[in-house]
Amino acid sequence: MPKHILITGATSGFGLATARLFAAEGWHVAGTGRRAERLDALHQELGDAFLPLPLDMRDREAVTETLGNLPGEWNDVDVLLNNAGAALGLEPAQECSLDDWDAMVDTNIKGLLYATRAVLPGMVARNRGHIVMLGSVAGNYPYAGGNVYCGSKAFVKQFSLALRADLLGTNVHVTNIEPGLAESEFSIVRFHGDTQKAANVYEGTSPITPQDIAETVFWVTHRPTHININRVEIMPICQCPSGPLVKKGM
């Protein structure tokens, strides 16, 4: 009997790479995304091992209805990968678009909550399962222009840890994966389609790849049952955390 992973945001980047890796390992993969044509293409590629779920994670009713009532065996979700998310803009807070802020809160925080709430009762009833979050180093270290994106990922980190507390006494696992610089469509989305600006982010670096993250998801979900990986922070070797900034001449 194949295991089932439900991936939010399977149309690109980390989610797409994870869908391919888990399918290659014999898992059944259900994947969400707004770009239905990309889900269709993945369905063509992976065949019956893939269940396309076109929806917007910001739509509470659609997420609750769809993810809470998957057909047949698909409803026994072994792993939920809460991956769908975005950074929008890199302006200082006083110049940011409120629409961008709303979209980040609604997707990165609220969409993740809707998906979690939809699958959690089944996992608790079966006394097994794993919820893996795509947090970020942005939840650990602030940077200029990160404002609401950093805040949303700090939420994800703390929510993951608090979820562990609620689930103590069950065999339901929770992990927050916290990548640093990684190349996907992330920066194209952040810069609202400006591919040149996005390319500049990675120029001269060796960023994390979606495959690296897929392998991390696979690793954290294949530990012995008595183990829970709480958090995994990953940076490429060309990046490191740094301390508080100082502005001289003030």
* From 114, 141, 143, 149, the catalytic residue: 149
Residues facing residue 6 across a β-bridge: 30, 80
Residues 6+ apart with CB under 8 A from 104: 85, 86, 87, 88, 148, 149, 152
| Amino acid letter, residue 122 | G
| Amino acid letter, residue 12 | S
Q: Which tokens is 165 given?
A: 């507390």
Footprint of ligand 8X3 (CB under 6 A): 87, 136-138, 146, 180
Measured from the CB atom, the residue of 171 and 239 that comes closer to ligand NDP is 239
Q: Coil, strand, or helix at residue 221?
A: coil
At closest approach, how far in Å is the CB of 24 from ligand 8X3? 26
At closest approach, how far in Å is the CB of 182 from ligand 8X3? 7
Measured from the CB atom, the residue of 70 and 138 that comes closer to ligand 8X3 is 138
**Residue nearest ligand NDP (C-beta atom):** 13
Footprint of ligand NDP (CB under 6 A): 9-15, 32-35, 56-58, 83-86, 107, 134, 136, 179, 181-182, 184-186, 189
Measured from the CB atom, the residue of 127 and 206 that comes closer to ligand 8X3 is 206
15 interacts with, out of ligand NDP, ligand 8X3, none, CB within 5 to 8 A per kind: ligand NDP
Measured from the CB atom, the residue of 113 and 234 that comes closer to ligand 8X3 is 234
Dihedral through CA 34, CA 66, CA 214, CA 151, nearest 10?
A: 70
Q: Is 149 a catalytic residue?
A: yes
Q: Which residues of 201-234 are buried (b: 16+ CB within 10 A; e: fewer)?
A: beeeeebbbbeebbebbbebbeeeeeebbebbbb
**Residue nearest ligand 8X3 (C-beta atom):** 136
Residues annotated catalytic, as ranges: 149
